[in-house]
Amino acid sequence: MVDITGKQPTNRMAIASGFVLFRNDEPIQLIKENSNKKGDVLGVARIAGIMAAKRCSDIIPLCHPIPISKVTVHLDLIGPGQPAPGAKSGRLVKHGGVSIMAQVHCFGSTGVEMEALTAVTGAALTIHDMCKAVDPDIITHNVKVLLKQGGKNGDWKSEDWTP
């Protein structure tokens, strides 16, 4: 692990995003109707994302355990025929999907980018697990950091960031 002893604690925040695409129409319909056999897909995925952020240092070997002060995970349905998130070519989603955005805050000596990425990934994996019986060909796509604030190097934002 990198020594962060001498780093100044500051308020830190990171936002990450990603999305899950379905390869047939059944998962999006089950999610809309809240009739998936495993339960409320979006509710369970939201909690899974929050839990994943809190356990990030248990998953990523050299990641510091940090005192997270807040985690939010937003999940939005992408309907068939809507543009893929971040698609510059205007590519449309054929069978629907779920857009995921996680925001993590802390006051500490190291950033929370890994926690935000882990939150998005945990939510995406949960959606995959809950929908794989009706769509074994689900794709998790474009998981990335969009914004980070705080720390010695200051703020950073992706060219894809739009508030």
* Residue ranges per structural domain of the chain: 13-150
Quick one: average pLDDT of 7-13?
90
pTM, full prediction: 0.94
Exactly one of 3, 25, 76, 129 is catalytic; name it.
129
Show the tokens assigned to 61: 């070997």
89: confidence class by pLDDT, cuts 50, 70, 90: low
Q: How would residue 110 be classed by pLDDT, with cut points 50, 70 and 90? A: confident
- Is 13-150 a CATH 2.60.40.10 domain? no
* 3 in catalytic set: no
pLDDT category at 87 given cuts 50, 70, 90 is low
